Amino acid sequence: MLAAETPLAGCTLPQSGTRLVCKSACRRSRNRRQQTRGFLRQQSLKAQQQPNYQDEKKLREAVEIISRMPPLVFAGECRNLQARLAKCATGEAFLVQGGDCAESFSQFSANRIRDSFRVQLQMAVVAMFGGGVPVVKVGRMAGQFAKPRSADTEVFDGRELPSYRGDIINGQDFTSDARVPDPMRLVQAYNQAAATLNLLRGFATGGYAGLQRVMEWNLDFMAKSDEGRAYLDVAKRVDEAIQFMVACGLDSHTAIMTETEYYVSHECLLLDYEQALTREDSTTGLWYDCSGHMLWCGERTRQLDGAHVEFMRGIANPIGVKVSDKMDPGQLVSLIAALNPENTPGRLTVIIRMGADKVRANLPRLVEAVRNSGQVVTWVCDPMHGNTECVAGYKTRRYERIRAEVEAFFDVHEELGTVPGGIHLEMTGDDVTECLGGGSSILETDLNSRYHTHCDPRLNAEQALEMSFYVASRLAQRKEKLGQNTKPLAILR
């Protein structure tokens, strides 16, 4: 089902002459025909990882409700993010993307949104100040509700039920009723995403994210940690730099000092939801998936002849694709060509998820193949998904292995002379004990104390901040090696 055509805000038609307007109109018409054909073809292809809804009428009703709702994001915002990601591809900026493994209906609260937003602000300050490059902040928020699964069913205590696929589809409780896919959860997910975005926009533009408040962002439970103290030291130096710039005549009330840019993203998995929020931009004639600024295609749904890739070909958002050590270099080049045929910088992010032991052996051949093809992508490291293990009955990850994968990612790009463009983390602002190790020294015996995730283990705020200090050190080393002077403060607001 194709969503209704809803005009999007953000741009106007060129006004510099009839010829230019006519060219623009022809281009819009051509793009509209191409993308509409793509959407129609996508509906005829096999879509992996989709729920088996028992009530098709109820599904159509839910999709129709969402298709009449306002867009969650706007075309102009997506274009802005694409321009920022283009700079990440060349080393002029760095992407910090993070958030929950899967958003929850039951754990939804303003405080959790605030704390996750706040820890990303902290990470950005550390990376900008220490690494000397602007940081693009993208959350796994306001749409990260669905999860791919390796099997359609799961067994517990000898009983087999359909797998939990995220709150947008079914419930986590191990009961027959909870595991039935409910189409009206699509509407609940939309409403929660809208509320989340409303709060995030308020935080980003209402003064909370102002650099003058950098000393106030420290989370209470981090006050006595090494990472917390290190952050306060950076915050103090940032504050001193701001005071100096104000003394030199900088207006502390300008937007660059009081606001920040913040974008949201999620995996493009549940196509009924994504299509219901796909709208045509009346300015450009392009189609945008208005469920999020950036969408990515997962390891299980990146088939070149699959419905997910075909859908993503048809939207103009900046998009990503997750790649493991199983990816063949030639196949990756073909996938990039399909998703970004015009080779537009910032359009496509390749997110590596291999595991700490596999990056050095497998990433170079992928990077070299893409470089030799002349394709422009933003390379990003997801060090979470390849390092999952089971300890004492808990799904967990070891911080040391997460960092080792990030280290290998930077090392490979340094050796090849290519650009490490960002990191992609599953993390939270909560004081959880889900990943082992790090400066917070979480032990196996600590896992049961504050293990709150209902899906995959997340870095807590201390561990995420510790990672940002490491990233800052590598960015600073890269600038030094390239012969650039590391400035005391770099801001992309």
* Residue ranges covered by each domain of the chain: 18-48+71-151+193-481
Dihedral over Cα of 395, 398, 299, 103: its sign: positive
Q: Which residues lie closer than 8 Å to 215 by C-beta, 6 or more apart?
A: 232, 235, 236, 239
Name the residue among 366, 365, 352, 368 with its Cα closest to residue 409: 352
The predicted-structure confidence for 291-308, as pLDDT tens digits, reads as follows 999 999 999 999 999 999
Name the residue among 55, 45, 60, 53 with its Cα closest to residue 1: 60
Residue 67 has pLDDT above 90, yes or no: yes
Residue 467 has a pLDDT of 94
Residue 6 has pLDDT above 50, yes or no: no
Q: Which of 63-72, 116-125, 332-341, 441-450 has the lowest mean pLDDT?
A: 441-450
User: What CATH architecture applies to the domain 18-48+71-151+193-481?
Assistant: Alpha-Beta Barrel (3.20)
pLDDT confidence tier of residue 25, bands split at 50, 70 and 90: very low
pLDDT confidence tier of residue 433, bands split at 50, 70 and 90: confident
Residue 16 has a pLDDT of 29
Separation CA 107–CA 100 (nearest Å): 11
Name the residue among 258, 252, 256, 251 with its Cα closest to residue 493: 256
What one-letter code names the amino acid at 385? H
Residue 224 has a pLDDT of 64
pTM of the model: 0.87
For every residue of 394-431, DSSP letters joined together read: EEEEEHHHHHHHHHHHHHHHHHHT----EEEEEB-SS-
Residue 19 has pLDDT above 50, yes or no: no
Q: Which residue has the higher pLDDT, 229 or 328?
A: 328
Q: Which of 14-28, 86-100, 361-375, 391-405 has the lowest mean pLDDT?
A: 14-28
Name the residue among 402, 361, 411, 381 with its Cα closest to residue 94: 381
The predicted-structure confidence for 321-345, as pLDDT tens digits, reads as follows 999 999 999 999 999 999 999 999 9
In order of 327, 448, 453, the CA distances from 393 in angstroms are 31, 10, 14
Q: How far is CA 253 from the centre of its chain?
A: 30
Residue 238 has a pLDDT of 74
The predicted-structure confidence for 249-280, as pLDDT tens digits, reads as follows 777 677 776 789 999 999 999 999 999 999 99
Q: Which residues lie closer than 8 Å to 33 by C-beta, 6 or more apart?
A: none
Residues of the chain with pLDDT > 90: what percent?
66
Residue 239 has a pLDDT of 75
Residue 220 has a pLDDT of 61
pLDDT confidence tier of residue 377, bands split at 50, 70 and 90: very high
Residue 438 has a pLDDT of 86
Mean pLDDT, the chain, as a whole number? 86
Name the residue among 481, 439, 402, 413 with its Cα closest to residue 131: 481
Residue 231 has a pLDDT of 72
Separation CA 266–CA 142 (nearest Å): 8
Name the residue among 150, 209, 115 with its Cα closest to residue 464: 115
53-85: b or e for each residue (b if 16 or more CB lie within 10 Å)? beeeeebeebbeebbebebbbbbebbbbbbebb
Residue 225 has pLDDT above 50, yes or no: yes
Contact call for residues 329 and 363 (beta carbons, < 8 A): no
Separation CA 337–CA 343 (nearest Å): 8
Contact call for residues 94 and 479 (beta carbons, < 8 A): no
Separation CA 257–CA 208 (nearest Å): 11
Dihedral over Cα of 166, 172, 178, 179: its sign: positive
Q: What are the DSSP E strand ranges found in 313-413?
A: 319-323, 348-352, 378-381, 388-391, 394-398
Residue whose token pair is 């900046």? 318
Separation CA 96–CA 432 (nearest Å): 20
Residue 142 has a pLDDT of 98
The predicted-structure confidence for 441-473, as pLDDT tens digits, reads as follows 787 777 777 877 778 899 998 899 899 999 999
Residue 35 has a pLDDT of 53
Separation CA 433–CA 459 (nearest Å): 8
